[in-house]
Amino acid sequence: MLTEFISKLAVRCLETTGYAGAAVLMALESMIAPVPSEAVMPFVGFLVVDGKWNLYMAVLATSLGSVLGSLVSYSMGAYGGKPLVTRVGKYLLLDHHDLELTERFFHRRSGTITIFVSRFVPVVRHLISIPAGTGRMPLGPFLTATLAGATLWNTFLLVCGMKLREHWGLVQKYSHQVDIGVAVFLFLGVLWFLRSRLSRKAGPSQV
């Protein structure tokens, strides 16, 4: 069963690296690295339900990771500007179109509420810290909004993982259908990866 294999692999990786590993993954998720929180936090929920991790420690570790990652991106924008972001981003599949959209989104609605809401928006939550840094948003409000938004989002995904684990028997009952869904998801992920690579290579030639 593909779903069973992926879940066991993810849980094993988290078990091996512990709370620190989960924090690092969520730090990467809050930067320009292609690490989706949806692929991390539900499995943290698995470990909580299994009694291997403490709920509050899991939320604390992953939230701190999100804040640290966001702070790194903020610092890149504030002290290195777009040239530094571009240099680092080329190794992490940074989509410049997505970054430009995020920058426009931030500058139209810049403020604490924007940073908070952005934590719930796909793509934007990975990049919003960069324009916050280049715009030199006050650090206090930035960190407060980031912590609040990240904690709520991470906890939501963690609880979803806990509920999924509690009904894992039902997932196994319909394993064939679930595997098809997972296979389609992975296929779309590969397409996204290839598109990012091709668009990155095509970018310089269009200048």
The pTM score is: 0.72
Q: d(Cα 125, Cα 118) in Å, to the nearest integer?
A: 5
Which is nearest to 66 in space by CA: 123, 150, 152? 150
Residue 124's pLDDT is 80
Residue 10's pLDDT is 76
| Cβ within 8 Å of residue 21, ≥6 positions away | 13, 14
The answer, yes or no, to whether residue 106 has pLDDT greater than 90, is no
Mean pLDDT of 153-164: 91
Residue 69's pLDDT is 93
Reduced to 3 states (helix: H, G, I; strand: E, B; else coil), residue 134 is helix
Residue 2's pLDDT is 45
Reduced to 3 states (helix: H, G, I; strand: E, B; else coil), residue 13 is helix
* Rounded alpha-carbon distances, angstroms, from residue 83 to 45, 73, 205: 38, 13, 18
Round the CA-based radius of gyration of the chain to a whole number and report it: 18
Mean pLDDT of 136-142: 89
The answer, yes or no, to whether residue 170 has pLDDT greater than 70, is no
Residue 7's pLDDT is 62
Of 62 and 30, more confident:
62
List, for residues 40-53, the tens digit of each pLDDT value. Answer: 898 899 999 999 99
Q: Enumerate the domain spans of the chain.
A: 2-205
